[in-house]
Amino acid sequence: MDNNAQWQAAFYKLRSNKAFELFVVGIIIFSALVIGVKTYPLPEALLQAVVVMDWAITVIFLVEIVIRFLGEPDKKRFFRSGWNIFDTLIVVVSLIPIEDSDMALIGRLVRIFRVLRMVSIIPELRMLLNSLLKAMPQLGYVLLMMFIIFYIYAAIGSTFFASVNPELWGDIAVSLLTLFRVMTFEDWTDVMYETMTEYPLSWFYYLSFIFFTAFAFLNMIIGIVVNVLEEEHQRVAKAEAVAAGEPTITDLHLEIQALKQLLVENVATARNASNPEAAPQPAREL
């Protein structure tokens, strides 16, 4: 093994170390706390200390990115990962001294987004985010149907209840906000009792809306996310099994089929050996 391979193996071992991962997570959490501290009015001395800590955090992140890059066996594959590109951009932009320029706001926003690096470090968070993104196409149809229900009920509410309380039902836009309040159970009974003074049967309007939105559609959303998360768990487990050289379900099925075929052949051979008369006789020559 040459010197470069030894260094690469050492960096790979370091970046795969659990203690190193926990250290980086701790730095990310500390970075989030530093961002929060900077939102308070601070004495000049403490503010300077916070700035120094912020730069120290940036340097640590830079070293961590370099270690991960040097530990990657295939350097080109490192930048094929969107999370690696995100981490690198965040660190590089954080190194640009723009605090005292017109782009200071961008610098602060970049430092805020450093907290998202927690997702790239912790695999479980990546799995959750990937599951949520993969569930978006299915969630889109549910959300579209929910919007249709919202719009229909908002139109009905603004038609009948505008005279009761124009602030809540004056137009369809305000009615949509009122229905969102009803769906989240934020003092929705006050809204219902107010309309029931003029429309005693309006309770059915609210209860049916809550049934469709708060119960049916939200449970559908939860079910979709849980289902996609389970599929993502299975995919990750399968990938880890393949990487570890463990047989997959398909491999096991093929092995079982091969064993069945071998067993059938052995049984046939044993029968022919025990009953040679049953075996086909060669044709006699004339």
- Report pLDDT for 70: 85
In a domain? residue 18? yes
Q: How far apart are CA 260 and CA 117, in angstroms?
A: 51
Domain count, the chain: 2
Q: Is 133 found in the same domain as 222? A: yes
Residue 273 lies in a domain: no
Distance between CA 50 and CA 39 in Å, rounded?
11
> Is pLDDT at 249 greater than 50 in this prediction?
yes
Distance linking the first and last C-alpha atoms of the chain: 73
Q: Has residue 282 been placed in a domain?
A: no
User: What pLDDT shows up at residue 48?
Assistant: 86
H-type helices in the chain, by residue range? Answer: 3-15, 18-37, 44-70, 75-78, 82-95, 104-113, 117-121, 123-160, 166-169, 172-183, 188-196, 203-210, 218-243, 249-274
What CATH number did the domain enclosing 49 receive? 1.20.120.350
Inside any domain, residue 247 = no
77: amino acid identity, one letter: R
Q: Is 251 a member of any domain? A: no
Q: Is residue 130 located within the same domain as residue 226?
A: yes
Instruction: Name the domain boundary from 102, 121, 140.
Output: 121
Distance CA 161, CA 179 (A): 12
Question: Do 10 and 115 share a domain, yes or no?
Answer: yes
* pLDDT tens-digit readout, 124-179: 788 888 888 888 888 888 889 999 999 999 999 999 999 899 999 989 999 999 99
Cβ atoms of 131 and 229 within 8 Å: the answer is yes
Q: What is the mean pLDDT of residues 5-24?
A: 83
- Decide: 90 and 60 in contact? Cβ < 8 Å: no
The Cα 186–Cα 182 span in angstroms is 6
Per the CB < 8 A criterion, the answer to whether 115 and 122 are in contact is no
Q: Do 97 and 175 share a structural domain?
A: no
- Domain check: are 112 and 22 in the same one? yes
Between 60 and 244, residue with greater pLDDT = 60
State which residues form the domain around 164. Answer: 126-241
Q: Which of 25-34, 110-119, 166-175, 272-281 has the highest mean pLDDT?
A: 166-175
- Is residue 265 included in any domain, yes or no? no
Are 112 and 197 contained in the same domain?
no
Whether residues 144 and 184 share a domain: the answer is yes
91, 121, 151 — which closes off a domain? 121
Which pLDDT value is given to residue 286?
A: 44
Residues 46 and 64 in one domain: yes
111 plus 137 within the same structural domain: no
pLDDT over 70 percentage in the chain = 87
Boundary of a domain, candidates 67, 90, 121: 121
CATH code at position 153: 1.10.287.70
Residue of 46, 43, 18, 20 whose CA lies nearest to 34: 46
- Confirm if 11 and 65 have CB atoms less than 8 A apart: no
Residues 105 and 161 in one domain: no
pLDDT in tens, 35-94: 888 888 888 888 888 888 888 888 888 898 888 888 887 777 788 877 888 888 888 877
pLDDT score at 133: 84
Same domain, 103 and 158: no
pLDDT at 1 over 70: no
The conformational region for residue 96 under phi > 0 = left, psi -120 to 50 = alpha, else beta, is beta
- Please indicate, yes or no, whether residues 113 and 179 belong to a single structural domain of this protein: no
Residue position matching structure tokens 């049953």: 278
The answer to pTM > 0.75 is no
User: Is 51 inside a domain boundary?
Assistant: yes
Q: Give 171-191 pLDDT, tens digit per residue.
A: 999 999 999 999 988 889 999
Q: If you average pLDDT over residues 10-32, what whole number do you get?
A: 85
Give the pLDDT band (50/70/90) at residue 115: confident
Asked if residue 64 is part of any domain, the answer here is yes
